[in-house]
């Protein structure tokens, strides 16, 4: 059995770039599809986007197989051991691992439901909003940092940290400045009262989505924590000289390379989505909620495909960061999307208010505060191997 002990930060930076870039691209493309291109089928767009998540783990395995000497079979065996350990499975046998399929499916379905519900609510909120409201929805979504901290301290009983709390407050203030300081949607925009009501519903859906997404992040954080150490699920606890050897898994790469487990769970969310959520299409059509129809415009097809691939990038990067940094740090880090969103809006010709710029700088400063409140050591699996 092979053990990998790793450290370094470059891989986390790559995951951060994937998460931030994927979010911005997915949001812009999703809005274009649902509003500008008039393909108002939010559930179908979500179904396609999340189904594409399935390729995350596959691509990661292929990448590792092509760039290292690790075989796909060894990597998969290491994943099997890791998941069994996550699910707290121990065996009295010294030569066999009884994989907990029931618990495994339960976690996969729970992660799928936990991510799909807020995403769908947010997507519906976008479809009810005007173009100026898109920026507001993005920052409302990113307030999940505040809700994640609030829930973790008030409900889960986690220790209160003054610097981390200050970072959350600063980030939230930055969001408030961005959303309300610019008066972009002040009541003088000439919208019909019905449209104002529709927009309010969209905002409330975005807020609910943000809260539920914070709950999802905390659930995944609790499931993946404490940080994975090379502790066996078989036999006695290992030492540097004594690591349990199981014939069937003697060539397993364990723990798996950095991010592979997160990519695997991302793929499982995609697979569960593809296998189960199609059942909702006839139900939604019969209720008149959403009529199922495939896009007949090649531009719309390409935009949906782009949103799906961007969503897979965002989800993979976010799941990796959640496993490395935890829910609160990842949530606050994701607020960098606000700065990127304003840059893309400015490039696309939108007018950026002074308050929006100030709010972005406040959010960036919150990131600096967070960097000093978080532990300096973030373990990242990579290079050093021990063979037994």
Domain count, the chain: 1
CB atoms within 10 A of CB 277: 18
Backbone angles phi, psi at 328, to 5 degrees: -70, -50
Please state the length of the chain: 388
Torsion from C-alpha of 168, 169, 170, 176, nearest 10 degrees: 110
- Sequence-distant (≥ 6) Cβ neighbours of residue 96 within 8 angstroms: 246, 248
Give residue 181's pLDDT.
58
Task: Report the mean per-residue pLDDT for the chain.
Answer: 75
| Residue-range definition of the domain harbouring residue 112 | 2-387
What is the secondary structure of 279-301 as a DSSP string?
Answer: GHHHHHHHHTS--------HHHH
**What local confidence, expressed as pLDDT, does residue 57 receive?**
93
Question: What phi and psi, each to the nearest 5 degrees, are found at residue 91?
Answer: -130, 140
Mean pLDDT of 282-305: 88
Question: Which of residues 128 and 262 earns the better pLDDT score?
Answer: 262
Among the residue ranges 56-60, 274-278, 315-319, 349-353, the one predicted with the least confidence is: 349-353
Contact 143, 210 (CB under 8 A): yes
Using the Cα atoms of residue 316, residue 176, residue 118 and residue 189 in order, give the sign of their dihedral.
negative
pLDDT attached to residue 139 = 67
> Per-residue pLDDT averaged across 357-374, rounded?
71
- For residue 138, the model assigns a pLDDT of 66
pTM of the model: 0.77
Distances in Å between the Cα of 10 and the Cα atoms of 15, 17, 257, 361, 380 are: 9, 11, 14, 25, 9
Distance CA 344, CA 188 (A): 25
Quick one: pLDDT at residue 134? 61
More confident residue, 11 or 245: 11
Query: Over the stretch 210-230, which tens digit does the pLDDT of each residue have?
Result: 889 888 888 888 877 544 444
pLDDT of residue 43: 87
How far is residue 315's CA from residue 322's CA, in Å, rounded to a whole number?
A: 10
Residue 347 has pLDDT above 60, yes or no: yes
CA pair distance 97, 79, nearest whole angstrom: 12
Contacts of residue 365, defined as CB under 8 A and 6 or more positions apart, other chains included, come to 170, 174
Query: How many alpha carbons fall within 13 Å on the CB side of residue 161?
Result: 15
Q: For 79-119, how does the pLDDT look when each residue is reduced to its tens digit (9 = 90+)?
A: 888 888 777 655 444 445 677 888 899 999 999 999 989 88
128-187 confidence digits (pLDDT tens): 765 555 666 766 777 777 788 788 877 777 777 777 778 778 877 876 776 665 544 444
Q: Tell me the average pLDDT across 304-329.
A: 87
**What pLDDT, on a 0 to 100 scale, did the predictor assign at position 384?**
38
More confident residue, 337 or 22: 22
Q: Residue 379 pLDDT > 60, yes or no? A: no
Does the structure show a pLDDT above 90 at 62? yes
Average pLDDT over residues 251-278: 89
Q: Which of 28-37, 40-49, 183-192 has the lowest mean pLDDT?
A: 183-192
């Amino acid at each position: 059995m092979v053990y990998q002990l790793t450290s370094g930060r470059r891989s986390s930076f790559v995951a951060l770039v994937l998460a931030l870039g994927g979010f911005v691209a997915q949001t812009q493309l999703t809005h274009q599809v649902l509003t500008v291109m008039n393909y108002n089928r939010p559930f179908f767009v979500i179904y396609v986007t999340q189904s594409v998540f399935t390729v995350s783990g596959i691509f990661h395995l292929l990448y590792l197989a092509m760039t290292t000497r690790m075989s796909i079979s060894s990597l998969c065996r290491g994943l099997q051991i890791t998941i069994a350990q996550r699910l707290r499975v121990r065996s009295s046998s010294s030569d066999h691992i009884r994989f907990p399929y029931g618990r495994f499916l339960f976690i996969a379905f729970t992660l799928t439901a936990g991510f799909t519900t807020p995403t769908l609510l947010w997507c519906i909120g976008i479809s009810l909003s005007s173009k100026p409201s898109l920026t507001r929805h993005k920052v409302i979504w990113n307030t999940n940092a505040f809700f994640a901290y609030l829930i973790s301290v008030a409900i889960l009983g986690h220790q209160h940290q003054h610097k981390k709390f200050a970072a959350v407050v600063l980030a939230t203030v930055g969001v408030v400045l961005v959303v309300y300081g610019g008066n972009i949607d002040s009541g003088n925009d000439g919208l019909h009262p019905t449209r104002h009501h529709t927009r309010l519903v969209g905002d409330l859906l975005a807020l609910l989505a943000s809260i539920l997404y914070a709950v999802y992040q905390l659930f995944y954080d609790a499931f993946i924590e404490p940080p994975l150490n090379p502790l066996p699920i078989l036999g006695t606890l290992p030492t540097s000289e004594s690591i349990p050897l199981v014939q069937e898994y003697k060539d397993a790469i364990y723990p798996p390379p950095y991010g592979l487990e997160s990519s695997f769970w991302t793929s499982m969310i995609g697979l569960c989505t593809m296998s189960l959520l199609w059942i909702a299409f006839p139900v939604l059509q019969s209720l008149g909620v959403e009529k199922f129809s495939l896009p007949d415009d090649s531009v719309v097809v390409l935009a949906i495909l782009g949103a799906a691939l961007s969503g897979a990038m965002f989800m993979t990067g976010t799941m990796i960061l959640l496993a490395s940094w935890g829910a609160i740090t990842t949530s606050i880090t994701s607020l960098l999307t606000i700065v990127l969103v304003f840059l893309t809006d400015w490039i696309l010709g939108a007018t950026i208010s002074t308050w929006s710029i100030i709010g972005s700088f406040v959010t960036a400063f919150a990131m600096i505060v967070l960097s000093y409140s978080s532990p300096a050591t973030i373990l990242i699996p990579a290079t050093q191997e021990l063979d037994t």
